[in-house]
């Protein structure tokens, strides 16, 4: 029996340990499990050497002691197998209490096998000279090998069954490790004087180290801070163990460095990174090129630390502290409000989108309400997306009554979406979000196409109607291809452009005014008319009507309502009506709910009335039925 191979294994492991300890690490569960495998293998190798030494010198020691050492070596083999099992279990059972519960039976079995191994007899197998011991065997060995085999089979089984839950790199590394072990034991079985199983174990540990557990893989190469994947793994682990912590995200948008001369920026950036690297008692991660995360274990003192970090930024950087950088600060005193690592990162992304509205160096303290808002937004985005993909965008039509013709002559198309259960969702809940993320472009086009399909199916003249009003969002107005796309759709369904009236709002003009004007010009030339929606809300500006080529002005419900509630509002409305009519434009009054309101509006000379007094917005079929039931409608 020789111990040279085992000694090589020990040297290899000590070298690995040296490199491992030298590096900056975060305390990840997977790394703790790796250390368990590492120590089990190391002790196993050392016990191997010790037991070979004891057996070779068995004449110098009491027999039971030699056998105790030999058995102890066998038991350590068992714990290497258990270590390997625990190593993949940390990946599968990420919640600490679940992991503990799952590991309990294996620990029990290992303890049982340990007791069995110590109680069972062990014998020596001698070489032909009847003196040299080749290896040990007997019941003690069968108990430990048998149980190790059970663990290995379990590992194989888990690798297969839990494929989706195990990091693919970990699967691969564990497979290589097991293969090296099994190959070594096969060789050792055939050539009984080649004792390489222990050494194979150390090679296996090296594979794990190189493929997965090198702490350097958790570092960002350019800065030396922890990487984004380390951030994800570590926060996931904190959430899984139900530990609350605080987080500070520092975001450097383009504007952050605007006061720093271009040539100095790389130096300032480096100075900031060096500062972050040296921060005591916190973990600092680089999540993206311009986004850094600082995690605080202690929520009670985090605010104080966060304030200190901000103060450092306020003190200036570079020579004579003359360069000032203004990042956005997102501080979560209790990161647990986000519940999951994915959600925490998503929240910051979501907040970054809104950050453009902040003033310089804004500091935002984030609580549960921001999270709920984000979640609601995400859910709604998902709903809109699904609705568009699965044809769950519905159009409702609200009849508009002409006071001159004394019948319904037009209607406004109003969008709704349905969720999976068929529940109707009102536009007030999703239009803003669709505008924010740009989905409104697609949604608006679907609405417009549906309106055209409706007109194609039910020619308006047969319903006694002149046109349908379709809402245009601010975002659509600023879309260069809008006119072109809409004209194509009208052509596709052979719709006369005079049957379409597009509603724009005043806010549309401030954003990308030029594009809106081009779109309007093109569409008006084609024959489409426009109306101005929401008149009387916000900062309505009569000058705007002068500028914009609209034919109709739609008085918002709030404006018509205040006419009945507020004596002074009457004068404003009278004046507005006078001016609008003076410009030869027509007026639609929205939100008319009672006969009195209708009568008053009619007496004021309002041209069109829209409101619950006539009808709420109706689904297509009901709307057709409603029109057909109207006296004077043809």
Chain positions contacting ligand C2E, by CB under 6 A: 398, 414-415, 426-428, 431, 444, 447, 471, 473, 533-534, 557, 590-593, 610-612, 617
Pick what 345 binds: Mg ion, ligand C2E, none; C-beta below 5 to 8 Å, kind-dependent.
none
The minimum distance between CB 556 and Mg ion, in angstroms, equals: 5
Instruction: State the binding partner of 617 from ligand C2E, Mg ion, none, CB within 5 to 8 A by kind.
Output: ligand C2E
| Minimum CB distance to ligand C2E smaller for 116 or for 427 | 427
204 binds, among Mg ion, ligand C2E, none (CB under 5 to 8 A by kind): none
Q: Measure Cα distances from 168 to 161, 421, 525, 589 in Å.
A: 13, 37, 60, 63
**Contacted entry of Mg ion, ligand C2E, none for residue 403, CB cut-off 5 to 8 Å set by kind:** none
83 binds, among ligand C2E, Mg ion, none (CB under 5 to 8 A by kind): none
Output the CA–CA distances (angstroms, integers) from residue 154 to 86, 205, 244, in the order listed: 11, 19, 34
Alpha-carbon separation of residue 506 from 92, 157, 442, 534 (angstroms): 55, 65, 22, 8
Least CB distance to ligand C2E at residue 615 (A): 9
Q: Give the nearer residue to ligand C2E in terms of CB position, either 173 or 532.
A: 532
C-alpha span between 104 and 281 (Å, rounded): 34
CB of 422 to ligand C2E, least distance (A): 18
As given in the structure block, the two tokens for residue 581 are 């009519």
- DSSP secondary structure code for residue 254 in this structure: G
112 φ/ψ angles, rounded to the nearest 5 degrees: -60, -45
CB 151 within 8 A of CB 84: yes
Residue closer to Mg ion, measured from CB, 67 or 554: 554
Residue 427, contacted partner among Mg ion, ligand C2E, none, CB below 5-8 A by kind: ligand C2E
316 burial level (CB within 10 Å; 0-12, 13-18, 19+): middle
Residue 36 or 557 having the CB closest to Mg ion: 557
Quote the least distance from Cβ 562 to ligand C2E, whole Å. Answer: 14
Site string for Mg ion, 383-402 (x = CB under 5 A): --------------------
Piece of 238-246, 425-433, 439-447, 552-560 that binds Mg ion (CB under 5 A): 552-560
557 makes contact, choosing from ligand C2E, Mg ion, none, with CB < 5 to 8 Å by partner type, with: ligand C2E
- Residue from 207, 317, 533, 588 in contact with Mg ion (CB under 5 A): 533
Nearest of 424, 440, 421 to residue 432 by alpha carbon: 440
Q: How far is the CB of 412 from Mg ion (least distance, A)?
A: 6
Between 89 and 592, name the residue whose CB sits nearer to ligand C2E: 592
Identify the CA nearest to 493 among candidates 522, 520, 536, 459.
459
Enumerate the H helices of 57-196 as residue ranges. Answer: 63-92, 96-119, 139-161, 168-190
Q: How far is the CB of 288 from Mg ion (least distance, A)?
A: 40
Of the pair 37, 414, the CB lying nearest ligand C2E is at: 414
- φ and ψ at residue 400, rounded to 5 degrees: -125, 125
Out of 91, 213, 485, 503, the only residue in the binding site for Mg ion (CB under 5 A) is: 503
- State in angstroms the smallest separation of the CB of 556 from ligand C2E: 6
Could you tell me the smallest distance in angstroms from the CB atom of residue 526 to ligand C2E?
20
CB of 287 to ligand C2E, least distance (A): 35
Return the closest-CA partner of residue 548 out of 573, 574, 585, 579: 585
Structure token digits, residue 177: 């490790």
Pick what 536 binds: Mg ion, ligand C2E, none; C-beta below 5 to 8 Å, kind-dependent.
none
Query: Minimum Å distance from CB 457 to ligand C2E?
Result: 18
The two structure tokens encoding residue 239: 């959430």
Contacts of 343 (CB under 8 A, 6+ apart): 371, 374, 375
DSSP 416: E
Closer by beta carbon to ligand C2E, 48 or else 534? 534
Number of H helices, E strands in the chain: 23, 17
Helix (H, G, I), strand (E, B) or coil at 281: coil
**Which 8-state DSSP code applies to residue 615?**
-
- CB 472 to ligand C2E: min, Å: 6
Tokens of 163: 């494929």
Question: Which span sits near Mg ion by CB under 5 A: 158-166, 195-203, 219-227, 547-555?
Answer: 547-555
Q: Among Mg ion, ligand C2E, none, what binds residue 444 when CB lies within 5 to 8 Å by partner kind?
A: ligand C2E
Binding mask 454-473 for Mg ion (x = CB under 5 A): -----------------x--
Angle at 588 between CA 583 and CA 594, to 5 degrees: 140
Q: Closest CB to ligand C2E among 293 and 563?
A: 563
In angstroms, the CA 417 to CA 391 distance is: 9
d(CA 206, CA 201): 9
Interface size with Mg ion, residues (CB under 5 A): 5
Q: Shortest gap between Cβ of 398 and ligand C2E (angstroms)?
A: 6
> Binds 282, which of ligand C2E, Mg ion, none (CB < 5 to 8 A, cut-off by type)?
none
Is residue 506 involved in binding Mg ion (CB under 5 A)?
no
Q: Which residues contact 26 (CB under 8 A, 6 or more apart)?
A: 218, 226, 230, 234, 283
- 306 close to 246: Cβ distance less than 8 angstroms: yes
Pairing of strands 407-418, 424-425: antiparallel
CB of 333 to Mg ion, least distance (A): 42
**Residue 435 dihedral angles phi and psi, to the nearest 5°:** -70, -40
Nearer Cβ to ligand C2E (240/556): 556
Alpha helices of 326-438 — where are they, by DSSP H?
341-355, 368-389, 431-436
Q: Please choose which of Mg ion, ligand C2E, none residue 428 contacts, taking the beta carbon within 5 to 8 angstroms, the exact cut-off set by kind.
A: ligand C2E
Residue 399 interface partner, choices ligand C2E, Mg ion, none, CB cut-off 5-8 Å depending on type: none
Q: Which of 87, 93, 107, 103 is nearest to 176 (CA)?
A: 87
Residue 473: contacted member of ligand C2E, Mg ion, none (CB under 5 to 8 Å, by partner type):
ligand C2E
Q: Which residues bind Mg ion (CB under 5 A)?
A: 471, 503, 533-534, 554
């Amino acid at each position: 029996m020789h111990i040279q191979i085992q000694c090589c294994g020990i040297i290899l492991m000590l070298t690995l340990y040296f490199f491992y300890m030298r590096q900056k690490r975060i305390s990840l569960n997977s790394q703790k499990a790796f250390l368990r495998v590492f120590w089990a293998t190391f002790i196993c190798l050392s016990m191997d050497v010790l037991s070979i030494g004891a057996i070779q010198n068995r004449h110098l020691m009491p027999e039971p002691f030699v056998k105790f050492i030999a058995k102890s070596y066998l038991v350590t083999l068992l714990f290497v197998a258990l270590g390997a099992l625990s190593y993949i279990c940390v990946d599968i059972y990420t919640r600490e209490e679940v992991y503990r519960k799952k590991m309990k039976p294996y620990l029990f079995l290992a303890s049982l096998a340990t007791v069995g191994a110590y109680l069972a007899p062990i014998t020596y197998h001698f070489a032909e000279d009847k003196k040299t011991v080749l290896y040990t065997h007997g019941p003690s060995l069968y108990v430990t090998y048998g149980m190790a085999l059970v663990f290995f089979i379990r590992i194989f089984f888990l690798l297969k069954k839990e494929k989706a839950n195990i990091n693919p790199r970990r699967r691969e590394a564990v497979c290589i490790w097991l293969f090296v072990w099994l190959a070594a034991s096969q060789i050792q079985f055939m050539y009984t004087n080649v004792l390489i199983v222990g050494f194979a174990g150390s090679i296996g540990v090296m594979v794990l180290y190189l493929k997965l557990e090198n702490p350097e893989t958790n570092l960002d190469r350019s800065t030396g801070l922890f990487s984004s994947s380390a951030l994800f793994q570590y926060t996931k682990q904190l959430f899984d163990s139900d530990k609350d912590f605080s987080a500070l995200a520092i975001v450097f948008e383009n504007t952050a460095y605007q006061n720093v001369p271009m040539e100095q920026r790389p130096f300032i950036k480096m100075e900031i990174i060096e500062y972050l690297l040296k921060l005591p008692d916190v973990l600092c991660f680089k999540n993206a090129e311009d986004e850094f995360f600082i995690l605080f274990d202690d929520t009670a003192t985090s605010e104080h630390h966060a304030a200190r970090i901000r103060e450092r930024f306020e003190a200036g950087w570079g020579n004579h502290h003359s360069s000032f950088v203004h990042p956005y600060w997102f501080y979560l005193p209790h990161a647990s409000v986000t519940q999951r690592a994915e959600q925490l990162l998503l929240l910051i992304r979501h907040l970054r989108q809104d950050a453009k509205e902040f003033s310089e160096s804004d500091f935002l303290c984030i609580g549960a309400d921001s999270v709920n808002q984000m979640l609601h937004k995400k859910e709604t985005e998902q709903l809109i997306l699904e609705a568009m993909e699965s044809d769950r965008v519905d159009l409702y039509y609200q009849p508009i009554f002409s006071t001159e013709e004394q019948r319904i002559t037009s209607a406004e198309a109003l969008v709704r979406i349905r969720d999976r259960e068929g529940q109707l969702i009102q536009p007030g809940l999703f239009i803003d979000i669709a505008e924010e993320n740009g989905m409104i472009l697609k949604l608006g086009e679907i609405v417009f196409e549906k309106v055209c399909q409706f007109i194609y199916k039910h020619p308006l003249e047969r319903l006694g109607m002149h046109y349908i009003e379709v809402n245009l969002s601010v975002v659509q107005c600023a879309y260069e291809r809008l006119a072109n796309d809409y004209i194509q759709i009208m052509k596709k369904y052979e719709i006369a452009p005079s049957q379409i009236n597009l509603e724009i709002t005043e806010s549309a003009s401030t954003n990308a005014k030029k594009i809106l004007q081009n779109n309007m010009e093109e569409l008006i030339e084609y024959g489409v008319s426009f109306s101005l929606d929401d008149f009387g809300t916000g900062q309505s500006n009569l000058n705007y009507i002068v500028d914009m080529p609209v034919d109709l002005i739609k008085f918002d419900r709030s404006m018509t309502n205040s006419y009945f509630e507020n004596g002074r509002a009457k004068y404003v409305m009278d004046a507005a009506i006078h001016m609008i009519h003076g410009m030869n434009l027509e007026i639609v009054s929205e939100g008319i709910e009672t006969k009195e309101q209708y009568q008053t509006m009619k007496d004021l000379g309002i041209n069109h009335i829209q409101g619950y007094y006539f009808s709420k917005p109706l689904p297509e079929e009901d709307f057709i039925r409603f029109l057909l039931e109207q006296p004077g409608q043809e």
